[in-house]
Amino acid sequence: MSQLDFAGRVALVTGAGRGMGRAHALMLAGRGARVVVNDLASPDGGASTADAVVAEIRAAGGTAIADHHSVIGGGAAMVDAALVAFGGLDIVIANAGVISSDTFAGADPADWQAVFDIHFGGTVEVCRAAWPALVRSGTGRIVTTASSGMLGNAGLSSYGAAKGAIFSLTRSLAIEGQDAGITANVILPSAWTRITGTIDDPAIAATLQRYFQPEHVAALVAWLVHQHTAVTNEAFQVSGGRAGRVSMAAYPTVRLSESTPENWQAHAAALLADGPLTPLRSTAEMFGNELADADPAIRHAMNAATGGLGLKPTTGREGESLG
């Protein structure tokens, strides 16, 4: 099996001084990409973690520069650094983030907002700044970083909310980028990093340290950002050499013959029952299915108008009418 070649490609990796970001940068540089290694400067004025990663890349014969801008307010500057140093930008891996654990009620509002802004706002800013260059590339690639935290976790409401927002943002970027050749995918990784290193349980920490090296995540990401990989609008759970697709999905819908609060109370069991799941890949797909549930004829009209690419059939109790 031949090694994926990134010669001639330019990549920007945020939060690349440690952990997963460092693994992404090393993986791409080791396969020929020219890499902008972004991470904040050392507060004491010494060599930053980004500088150390650049030195590591150069020592191995690769090409990289360090960038010390924050993802908040510095997105345009780090993209400019790539353009000045390498003449273009093909790949963005939005990895930078912080974590703060406190209850929603107990968190300082400014601290809560800061965590949200670094994760979500930083991803937005960097992707927005990079977008024109990715369009010019013709094969622009974006990978963003969400988390299982978006599914809900006590004490991590800001982190989880930002990760959920990143998940949704990436889906929209994938749809908007199709005509320009841009792909966008999001990962929900688990790896041994500074964040997971704060876990108190020694057994969990030992398992993560032994099996969940960041390089496992970087391997999947490198495949996703390769110019010959056409995968887009997907989410992947990835950890320890394993990966699986993650999808929003809906249980079968229940339609009442009379829509009243009392009738929903009477049919709560049907509404909350498990059943076959229908993946929801876009707003248009979900909304289209709702329209077709109300009027099945619209499904045929929309499929005819789009050459069969309109609404997908739903499964289970779609349209089942209850008293």
Q: In terms of pLDDT, which residue wins out, 86 or 100?
A: 86
Look up residue 15 and give its DSSP letter: T
Confidence of residue 304 (pLDDT cuts 50, 70, 90): low
Task: Record the pTM.
Answer: 0.88
Q: In terms of pLDDT, which residue wins out, 174 or 283?
A: 174
Q: Which residues contact 260 (CB under 8 A, 6 or more apart)?
A: none
Of 71-80, 98-107, 128-137, 259-268, minimum mean pLDDT range: 98-107
Q: What is the spatial distance between Cα 119 and Cα 146, in angstroms, rounded to a whole number?
A: 9
Of 151-165, 203-217, 239-253, minimum mean pLDDT range: 203-217
Confidence of residue 99 (pLDDT cuts 50, 70, 90): confident
pLDDT of residue 64: 98
Residue among 6, 120, 131, 159 flagged as catalytic: 159
Residue 211: active-site member: no
The domain spans of the chain are 10-246, 249-322
Confidence of residue 309 (pLDDT cuts 50, 70, 90): very low
pLDDT of residue 319: 40
Q: What is the spatial distance between Cα 72 and Cα 49, in angstroms, rounded to a whole number?
A: 18
pLDDT of residue 209: 74
* pLDDT at 318 exceeding the cut of 60: no
> Which CATH architecture describes the domain 10-246?
3-Layer(aba) Sandwich (3.40)
R_g over Cα of the chain: 22
Of 40-54, 197-211, 253-267, minimum mean pLDDT range: 197-211
pLDDT of residue 146: 96
* Residue position matching structure tokens 């520069």: 65
The helix-helix angle for 19-29 and 49-59 (nearest 10°) equals 30
**pLDDT tens per residue, range 23-40:** 999 999 999 999 999 999
Q: Are strands 320-322 and 254-256 parallel, antiparallel or unpaired?
A: parallel
**pLDDT tens per residue, range 124-148:** 999 999 999 999 999 999 999 999 9
- Alpha-carbon 126 to chain mean position: 13
Q: In terms of pLDDT, which residue wins out, 263 or 194?
A: 263
φ and ψ at residue 302, rounded to 5 degrees = -70, -35
**pLDDT tens per residue, range 241-263:** 999 999 999 999 999 989 999 99
Confidence of residue 303 (pLDDT cuts 50, 70, 90): low
CB atoms within 10 A of CB 25: 32
